[in-house]
A and B are shown apart, each in its own frame.
Chain A
Amino acid sequence: MSTRRDRVTLSVPAQTRYLQAVRLLTGGLGARANLGMEEVENVKTAVNEACTNVTEHAFCDENTPDECSMKLVFFLSDGEMTVEVIDEGCGFDPKHLQPRIRPPLSEQGSLGLYLVHELMDEVKIESAPGSGTKVIMTKRRSR
């Protein structure tokens, strides 16, 4: 099996109008990493959720300014893809997150991060107030 690991980076404005483009690239790279069709869909959804969180929460303004961006870094190998979603927004203390507990099904939202954990094999969140946020998630091909 090849041990080659490719790295692909993308920087886009932190605006919801770019979500579709992000999903398109994610889908193409998932196929490139030889993930199964359902696994590719899972990664697309998880990346979409992480990016939506950036557009909604990262920059502490009601409307994210156009000049704010998010960066995605994809690491591809045969049967595995890791995606980092990085922003330089206001950050937060990850101690306050309980992403493994399903949030109450209410109108207010908050399902996004829970879904990320449900759909990916590994998820790690690095953040601190004032220091931005990095969500690192990995999906592997099932045997």
Chain B
Amino acid sequence: MKADLQVHDQVARLTVIGELDAYSAPQVRDRLVEALENDARWVVVDLRKTEFIDSFFLTILMGAGKRAGGKCGDIIVVCDASHLLQIFDRSGTTELLNVVPTMEEAEQLLYDWRASDQQPEEGQS
């Protein structure tokens, strides 16, 4: 498994190549937690080159989404492989983790979140 994590402009972008299970995923978790404890408010996880995920990794993603959400951010998962999409679907996490099939859709969602984040709260002048 090879994981690349870049944090830029408050977005942590994680790309994973290979297989994620209870042996390999903790490395990814530690790096995600570190990114979220520092600068990142949003997380984009690119699984287009990932061959396997399990419930252990789903739990890590849910934890990352929760941490990001706590700072008014959120998580997006980019995934287009049917056997992985089935795992999100069967576990009921597709909506929670904002699973989308393309990076273009992820960027659009991120753009929308940023836009709504920059709007002044009601009652503020």
Contacts and interface: CB of A to CB of B under 8 A. Distances in A.
B24 to A, nearest CB: 8
A118 interface: yes
Nearest to A108: B59
Given A45-B52, A105-B62, A112-B56, 6 more contacts: A48-B21, A49-B54, A52-B54, A52-B56, A109-B59, A112-B54
Interface in B7-25: 19, 21-23
Instruction: Classify the secondary structure of B's interface with A.
Output: helix
Interface in A56-99: 56
Interface string A97-125: 00000100111110110110011000000
Contact of B56 (A17, A41, A109): A109
Interface residues of B, number: 22
Contacts, number: 70
Contact of B87 (A55, A56, A107, A115): A115
Interface of B: 19, 21-23, 52, 54-56, 58-59, 62-63, 66, 82-83, 86-87, 90-93, 96
Given A105-B93, A107-B59, A108-B59, A38 B86 contact: yes
A125 B66 CA distance: 33
A52 B22 contact: yes
Interface of A: 16-17, 19-20, 23, 37-38, 41-42, 44-45, 48-49, 52, 55-56, 102, 105-109, 111-112, 114-115, 118-119
Contacts of B54: 45, 48-49, 52, 112, 115
A88 B19 CA distance: 28
Nearest to A46: B54
Nearest to A114: B91
A20 B23 contact: yes
Contacts of B91: 102, 105, 111, 114-115, 118
Contact of B83 (A38, A49, A52, A55): A38
Contacts of B21: 16, 19-20, 23, 48, 52
Nearest to B67: A107
7 contacts: A42-B83, A45-B52, A48-B21, A52-B54, A105-B92, A111-B58, A119-B86
A30 to B, nearest CB: 12
